[in-house]
Amino acid sequence: MDVNIAPLRAWDDFFPGSDRFARPDFKDISKWNNRVVSNLLYYQTNYLVVAAMMISVVGFLSPFNMILGGIVVVLVFTGFVWAAHNKDVLRRMKKRYPTAFVMVVMLASYFLISMFGGVMVFVFGITFPLLLMFIHASLRLRNFKNKLENKMEGIGLKRTPMGIVLDALEQQEENITKITDYISKVKE
């Protein structure tokens, strides 16, 4: 599997001003989910840089707890993804409610980490960067390049780290006919 790193988007595109941000339509969960997935794919390297800065600061202040927290989250996420692939009930829940699935992973991680006393490191080093990513991806309006990148990732023309994570959460588009419909709409 050939994995490509997405380019770093210009910071004025990533966080320009209030004209490119809007509240999502909470009544249309599918449209909101599409916006979040599209933005996660398009700005993934920017999100990685912001998260790495926050993780570095917290890791510098408490390296053992940060490493422990990271290992726990990765193991719990991997365990839940494995369980979801083997149990249909969990697979359907993960597909229909990806945010709830991530919340369950984070809560299970929180309880495991709380046994070791690294709760504040978990909150500021792991949960806060994820929350910022979700908020930005929810509020940032998509542009044409953003939608095109998402479609290319969806049909497998490009494989990126965020695409692999979204595949594990079963949030990638699976139907190529959706892509051909989109291309025909662009041509019109």
Q: Measure CA 141 to chain center.
A: 16
pLDDT band at residue 18, thresholds of 50, 70 and 90?
Answer: low
Q: Is 140 helix (H, G, I), strand (E, B) or coil?
A: strand
Mean of the pLDDT values across residues 118-146?
Answer: 79
**Which has the closest alpha carbon to 13: 106, 146, 118, 116?**
146
Looking at every residue in the chain, the average pLDDT score rounds to 75
- pLDDT of 183 > 70? The answer is no
The percent of residues above 70 in pLDDT, for the chain, comes to 76
Give the pLDDT mean for 106-135: 81
What gap in Å lies between CA 27 and CA 24, rounded to an integer? 9
Q: What does the pLDDT average to over 41-54?
A: 87
The pair phi, psi for residue 21, each rounded to 5°, is -125, 145
Sequence spans of domains, the chain: 29-143
In 3D, which of 95, 84, 80 has the Cα closest to residue 29?
95
Q: Evaluate whether 170 touches 91 at the Cβ level (below 8 Å).
A: yes
State residue 72's pLDDT score: 83
Q: Given a cut of 70, is residue 87 above it in pLDDT? A: yes
- Indicate the pLDDT class of residue 168, thresholds 50, 70 and 90: low
Mean pLDDT of 96-100: 74
Using CA atoms of 28, 156, 131, 74 in order, give the dihedral in degrees to the nearest 10. 130
Average pLDDT of the segment spanning 139-155? 67
CA-wise closest residue to 55 among 69, 44, 41 = 69
